[in-house]
Structure 1
């Protein structure tokens, strides 16, 4: 299972991306799954969903050992058993990515670049955000906003958040090396800095913020 990208972001946070070309049977030969994990795997009707599930656990065990397991809290946010690291996970097409960090709040999102984003932009962007999109680099700029808002949801940790009213991306150019965004709720208000990576017609956006 070759890791196609491995980036040490800071003293604690590490980003790993794997291009999954293996079949489900090949993945199951590489990964150790508990009986509960096997039951969950078999509950998925989609073969692609099964591959996502197995490949994520394969990548985690490759990095941290087969004793480390992924669980999800009541809001669906993943966390690790038998490790003190935080984790964020993203899948798209044949890629799986994990972001690991100790004493950092972390979030990761990967998206395949396509024209679809133009049709749904008004679902996740405010009028002000749409007005600030770069015309010359529109697709990438839209996906930078989309991925960043997905990261904000992961940072907040709950899915009952309004994409245009409670998640805000501060104005930036698509060529900027970093940008910022905010979760604006009465029960939660935080600002995060985002970095991004372009590869193989995919965009990856991540955020790491030291825990207080």
Structure 2
């Protein structure tokens, strides 16, 4: 499957989404991995994760990068050798990469009813405007999770809690964007976060 979607929220930022329809073998043959990445993908126990990992390398190529251009710091945050900021995500049959001149974070999640069971683990303030009987309850929970995960990837600070330190202001599905805050150890930071839905999945990306 070729590139599924490209989004350009501003002149310095591009999001690319890949729909993973290829087999593991086809993906593996179409990318060139550095030794560390090769070892990592071969040791993955789930073929789903292997395909997600390899599809991210296909997305890198769409940006003009190779696997050798991608590195990770001590906190596990990815970065590119040319200094551009990058964030990566994959879930089941979709993966996404955002590259920007500024700090960014991205997340994709499949919309599943079971998210309502764990809602109290990542939501506090947001319960003030969520309605459990709402037909869009699961969709909104998934958006909030994706927003907070994208903030977590952007902030990359040990001890940051989705429930205690991340806040998403009220939004509607039609907005396709919201404002979120990180309030951590006396430092309050405001972020604009875009989101979109497709084929039963939700994607959110936060821009600093």
When normalised by structure 2's length, the TM-score is 0.91
In 2, distance between residues paired with 1:66 and 1:110? 22
**Residue 136 of structure 1: CA displacement?**
4.1
2:109 is aligned with 1:71 = no
**Residue 66 of structure 1: CA displacement?**
3.0
Q: Deviation per CA, 1:131-181: give whole Å up to 9, x if none.
A: 311424211111111111101111111342122111111233343332111
Q: Name the residue aligned to 2:163.
A: 164
Report if the CA contact (8 A) 2:41-2:50 is conserved.
Answer: yes
| Residues 40-51 of structure 1: pairs in structure 2 closer than 5 A | 40-51=40-51
The range that moved more, 16-25 or 48-57, is: 48-57
Q: Name the residue aligned to 1:18.
A: 18
| Residue among 114, 117, 124 paired with 2:115 | 117
Report if the CA contact (8 A) 2:3-2:18 is conserved.
Answer: yes
In 1, distance between residues paired with 2:160 and 2:189? 14
Q: Secondary structure at the match of 1:9?
A: strand
Report if the CA contact (8 A) 1:153-1:159 is conserved.
Answer: no
| Residues 110-189 of structure 1: pairs in structure 2 closer than 5 A | 110-126=108-124, 128-134=125-131, 135-186=134-185, 188-189=187-188
Report if the CA contact (8 A) 2:109-2:201 is conserved.
Answer: yes
Q: Deviation per CA, 1:87-141: give whole Å up to 9, x if none.
A: 1111111101011111x11111111111111111101000x31131142421111
In 1, distance between residues paired with 2:95 and 2:200? 14
Q: Name the residue aligned to 2:193.
A: 194
- What stretches of structure 1 of length at least 5 have no aligned partner? none
* Large movers: runs of 4+ above 4 Å: none
- Paired residues in the alignment total 206
The verdict on how the C-alpha distance between 1:65 and 1:146 changes in structure 2, with shifts beyond 3 A counting, is closer
In 2, distance between residues paired with 1:156 and 1:66? 25
RMSD: 1.8
**Residue 187 of structure 1: CA displacement?**
6.5
Q: Secondary structure at the match of 1:164?
A: helix
